């Protein structure tokens, strides 16, 4: 049975348990941070967010889909528990997604680029439209990276919560104006991350000049895992080496921690050629792929 609607606390726990099992099997994080934040904070009960639960014959949670957006365009994720795959649960969930969309465009993420997801999409006429690559490299050696010089009049400092919120959101929106997720962040979205236990203002570096904030490098360290969370440069200052200068400083900050993580990773769109070149020069290599599929109506 597929159950649309909101989630209670027990359902949220079961969804997170299902996601953890799928992540271990697929070697990829099976739900995005946005999806997990909606679950953890209870914001998934908003009318703009839909939860679909699929239970097996024994009543156990077999699959889950989450959709968010407007009635005219929905985006989300679909995951089936590894113990319940190849029993029609993915098909049932995808059918329910299409029914809920009522002809509106939908895009769904498959984390890990699994053969099962590709086959399911193909059977239903969904198209592969976007790839998000996960790149990684060892932390060892990052502390020895040569620190690039900054442009004249520019200095780097840590983020100050409260004082820098609006400026950060403005630069992020400009830097990611064409990005389907990152560019839509609001002050509330930022503050949700600032409230997380992993947030460290010393790892959110701002490049500032006479005109204000020009770019930023945000590193995240959680449970022994290092990540380039977001790197952004205002359009008028892109291409001048500011991104690399910020990134090297951020990577060195993680590596110089008394107990640094063994690896640092990042996510980048597969068609972002300048970013891929930058990361390759710094020793990052491809580790996994997430794929977004578009419904036949897109």
232 among annotated binding-site residues: yes
Q: Is 134 exposed, middle or buried (0-12, 13-18, 19+ CB in 10 A)?
A: buried
233 among annotated binding-site residues: yes
130 among annotated binding-site residues: no
Whether the model pTM is above 0.95: no
132 among annotated binding-site residues: no
What are the tens digits of pLDDT across the range 120-131?
999 999 999 999
86 among annotated binding-site residues: yes
Whether 129 and 292 have beta carbons less than 8 Å apart is answered as yes
d(CA 206, CA 151): 14
In order, the DSSP letters of 275-287 are HHHHHHHTT-EEE
* pLDDT of residue 157 exceeding 80: yes
5 among annotated binding-site residues: no
Average confidence score pLDDT of the chain: 92
242 among annotated binding-site residues: yes
Encoding tokens for residue 2?
């597929």
79 among annotated binding-site residues: yes
* pLDDT of residue 271 exceeding 60: yes
d(CA 275, CA 231): 10
| For range 227-256, the mean pLDDT | 95
Residue 53, pLDDT score: 95
172 among annotated binding-site residues: no
204 among annotated binding-site residues: no
d(CA 278, CA 298): 32
Three-class secondary structure of residue 250 per DSSP: helix
| For range 206-233, the mean pLDDT | 96
193 among annotated binding-site residues: no
Q: Beta strand 73-80 with 106-111: parallel, antiparallel or unpaired?
A: parallel
Whether 137 and 261 have beta carbons less than 8 Å apart is answered as no
Tell me which DSSP letter residue 196 carries. Answer: S
Residue 297, pLDDT score: 73
Give 44's pLDDT tier (boundaries 50, 70, 90): very low
Annotate 69-134 with three-state secondary structure.
EECCEEEEEEEECHHHCCCCHHHHHHHHHHHHHCCCCEEEEEECCCHHHHHHHHHHCCEEEEEEEE
d(CA 274, CA 276): 5
239 among annotated binding-site residues: yes
Residue 3, pLDDT score: 56
238 among annotated binding-site residues: yes
194 among annotated binding-site residues: no
227 among annotated binding-site residues: yes
88 among annotated binding-site residues: yes
27 among annotated binding-site residues: no
What are the tens digits of pLDDT across the range 274-298?
999 999 999 999 999 999 999 997 5
Give 8's pLDDT tier (boundaries 50, 70, 90): confident
Give the ranges where the chain is alpha helix by DSSP (H): 9-26, 33-41, 89-101, 115-124, 165-175, 187-194, 242-255, 273-281
d(CA 14, CA 20): 10
77 among annotated binding-site residues: no
277 among annotated binding-site residues: yes
What are the tens digits of pLDDT across the range 69-116?
888 889 999 999 999 999 999 999 999 999 999 999 999 999 989 999
Residue recorded with tokens 């997430």: 290
33 among annotated binding-site residues: yes
| For range 1-29, the mean pLDDT | 85
283 among annotated binding-site residues: no
């Amino acid at each position: 049975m597929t159950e649309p609607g909101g989630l209670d606390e027990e359902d949220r726990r079961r969804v997170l348990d299902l996601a953890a099992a799928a992540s271990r099997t697929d070697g990829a994080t099976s739900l995005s941070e946005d999806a997990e934040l909606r679950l953890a904070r209870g914001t998934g009960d908003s009318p703009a967010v839909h939860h679909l639960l699929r239970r097996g014959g024994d009543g156990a949670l077999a699959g889950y889909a989450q959709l968010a957006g407007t009635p005219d365009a929905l985006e989300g994720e679909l995951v089936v528990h590894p113990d319940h795959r190849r029993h029609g649960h993915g098909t049932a969930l995808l059918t329910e997604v299409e029914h809920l969309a009522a002809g509106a465009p939908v895009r769904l993420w498959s984390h890990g680029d699994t053969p099962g997801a590709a086959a399911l999409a193909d059977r239903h006429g969904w198209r592969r439209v976007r790839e998000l690559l996960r790149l990684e490299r060892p932390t060892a050696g990052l502390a020895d990276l040569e620190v690039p010089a900054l442009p004249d009049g520019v200095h780097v400092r840590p983020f100050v919560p409260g004082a820098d919120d609006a400026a950060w959101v403005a630069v992020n929106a400009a830097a990611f104006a064409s990005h389907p997720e990152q560019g839509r962040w609001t002050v509330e979205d930022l503050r949700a991350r600032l409230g997380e236990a992993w947030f460290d203002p010393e790892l959110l570096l701002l490049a500032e000049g006479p005109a204000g904030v020009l770019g930023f490098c945000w590193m995240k360290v959680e449970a022994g895992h290092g990540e380039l969370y977001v790197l952004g440069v205002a359009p008028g200052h892109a291409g001048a080496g500011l991104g690399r200068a910020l990134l090297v400083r951020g990577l060195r900050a993680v590596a110089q921690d008394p107990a640094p993580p063994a690896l640092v990773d990042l996510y980048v769109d597969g068609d972002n050629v300048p970013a891929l070149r930058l990361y390759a020069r710094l020793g990052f290599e491809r580790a996994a792929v997430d794929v977004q599929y578009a419904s036949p109506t897109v």
